Amino acid sequence: MIKDIYLERLPKDFMWGVATASHQIEGNTLNNWTQWEKDTANERAKKLPSWYKLPKALEQLAHNPELRVSGKACGSLELWKKDIEIMKELNLNSYRFSIEWSRVMPRKDFFDKEAVDYYRSLIKELKKNGIEPMVTCWHWTIPVWLAEEGGILSKNFVKQFSKYVQYIVENLAEDVKYWITINEPDAVSTMSYLLGTFPPQERSLIKYFKSHFVVMVNAHRKAYEIIKSNDKDSYVSIAKNFILFKPSKSSFVNKIVSGIADFFHNTLMMNRISKYLDYIGVNYYFDWEIGVHGISVGKGKLTDFGFPMKPYSMKRVLKNLKKYKLPIIITESGVPDYQDKYRSFWIEENIKAIADAIKSGMDVRGYMHWSLLDNFEWAEGYWPEFGLVDVNWKTLERKIKSSGYSYANIINAFNKFVKKN
Ligand code: BGC
């Protein structure tokens, strides 16, 4: 169990939460992923990335094309009250979730009132239960009509995104203080236009740059202005993915390579939007060694994705953000761990990293663990398990895992500590 010396460093109103995304949990969404998932399921299930070192049981699941299609996901569109009950059981006081753009604007220039009513009920119920909502406007999925016009690279993307944000702000902002405009502009641009693993599966350096450093930047700035002009006290950011790049073997060339990767993945976007942020939303998953020979995973334990299991490295990621002089909220951090063997360790090390970063002068205000439920993990489908709660894909029954209880115990210990002092 985590010691008081760590807990005492956290602010008394620390946000203890979890994060999810609409397409990954709601079920039956109709967006740019829906058809693509069906069209490419076989091909994706056939060829697994070479760096995966999956145990037999997981390898079988990864090769099953049926698990590569989102379908009913976790059924949270119906089961959201159950999800809130679970959050209460886990002692959480915050919840980051996203609004499904394709539900709110299923057709061009048409806003679906019922879709927004659903999110309003969700927000009200959270507040009634003492859980602070943090709303992500966009977590990667695009309405079909806009995808047909070119998606992120359509000349209308920023305009349509702004209309959508305006509408949800008008309808939901009275109960929402914390906003994320865009989830991981870096990852969605890289996967869609550089690595070609997300729809529309293109590989073009020019398109990647345009998506990441032009469209995403403009979309964020516009959304920031819309949210702030409605309520200047709202608290707005993006959820930015940060990777800790370390030179593999400390040669001069490797240092340069690692510096370049750090600049393009971590810094450039931050510099372009730092005047349009009230805090920094940090998503942390990886600590990578990089050099002229590419990325290596270094020594030590690996996650189910074959990536280094380095939860404490979050501390260095946080400290690297000192220059922006902004408060920080961890908007995601988690581990694919189907046996739930390392998740409790991951959470404890994350909290220690946060406490140590605070000790060295950083202003960290919250932690949203990824994720509440085992959910639909994009191109990988259902086999990677990130949840504090297990979901039975047939019955949609939820069962809190042992790591869920460890997280709840940490929060409980913190609450007791705060009461006592
Ligand atoms: C994304 C999530 C995803 C998680 C785990 C993050 O980059 O925001 O949607 O499920 O990573 O891979």
Give the tens place of pLDDT for each residue, 120-170: 999 999 999 999 999 999 999 999 999 999 999 999 999 999 999 999 999
Give the number of the atom of ligand 1 that is nearest the alpha carbon of residue 241.
7
Q: How confident is the model at residue 279 (pLDDT cuts 50, 70, 90)?
A: very high
pLDDT for 239: 99
Q: Does the pLDDT at position 199 exceed 80?
A: yes
Half-sphere exposure of 341 (CA within 13 A, CB side): 8
Report how far ligand 1's centroid is from the alpha carbon of 232 (Å): 29
> Is residue 21 in contact with ligand 1, taking CB distance under 6 Å?
yes
Q: How far is the CA of 214 from the centre of ligand 1 (A)?
A: 22
Other residues' Cβ atoms within 10 Å of the Cβ of residue 326: 15
Task: Name the DSSP letter for residue 26.
Answer: S
pLDDT digits (tens, 9 = 90+) for 36-50: 999 999 999 999 988
Per the DSSP assignment, residues forming a β-bridge with 16 are 367
Q: Is the CB of 309 under 6 A from ligand 1?
A: no
Distances in whole angstroms, Cα of residue 69 to Cα of each of 20, 35, 375, 393:
18, 9, 12, 12
Over residues 238-276, the pLDDT tens digits come to 999 999 999 998 799 999 999 999 999 999 999 999 999
* pTM, 2 dp: 0.98
- Looking at residue 249, what is its pLDDT? 83
Asked if the model's pLDDT at residue 55 lies above 90, the reply is no
Between CA 17 and CA 371 the distance in angstroms is: 9
Looking at residue 52, its pLDDT comes to 82
184 lines ligand 1 (CB under 6 A): yes
pLDDT of residue 85 exceeding 80: yes
| Strand stretches in 230-312, DSSP E | 235-247, 280-291, 294-296
Model confidence at 1, pLDDT cuts 50, 70, 90, reads: confident
Compute the average pLDDT of residues 274-285.
98
* Nearest residue to 234 (alpha-carbon basis) of 292, 304, 176: 176
Q: How many percent of the chain have pLDDT more than 70?
A: 100
Q: Give residue-wise pLDDT tens across range 357-381.
A: 999 999 999 999 999 999 999 999 9
- Report the nearest-CA residue for atom 10 of ligand 1: 377
Ligand 1 close to Cβ of residue 377 (< 6 A): yes
Asked if pLDDT for residue 53 goes beyond 80, the answer is: no
Q: Among 22, 337, 378, which residue has the most ligand 1 atoms within 8 Å of its CB, making it the best to mutate?
A: 378
* Ligand 1 atom 5: residue of nearest CA: 377
- Nearest-atom number in ligand 1 for the CA of 378 is 10
pLDDT digits (tens, 9 = 90+) for 330-359: 999 999 999 999 999 999 999 999 999 999
Compute the average pLDDT of residues 211-220: 98
Contact 332 CB / ligand 1 (< 6 Å): yes
Choose which residue among 190, 332, 333 to substitute to test ligand 1 binding: the one with the highest number of ligand atoms within 8 A of its C-beta.
332
Q: What percent of the chain has pLDDT over 90?
A: 94
Ligand 1 near 372 CB (within 6 A): no
Q: Is the C-beta atom of 84 inside 6 A of ligand 1?
A: no
Handedness of CA 294, 343, 190, 36 (dihedral sign): positive
Q: What are 391-417's pLDDT values in tens digits?
A: 999 999 999 999 999 999 999 999 999
Residue 288 has pLDDT above 90, yes or no: yes
CA of 250 from ligand 1 middle (Å) equals 30
237 SS3 class: strand
pLDDT above 90 (res 285) = yes
94 vs 330: CA distance, rounded Å: 12
CA of 386 from ligand 1 middle (Å) equals 9
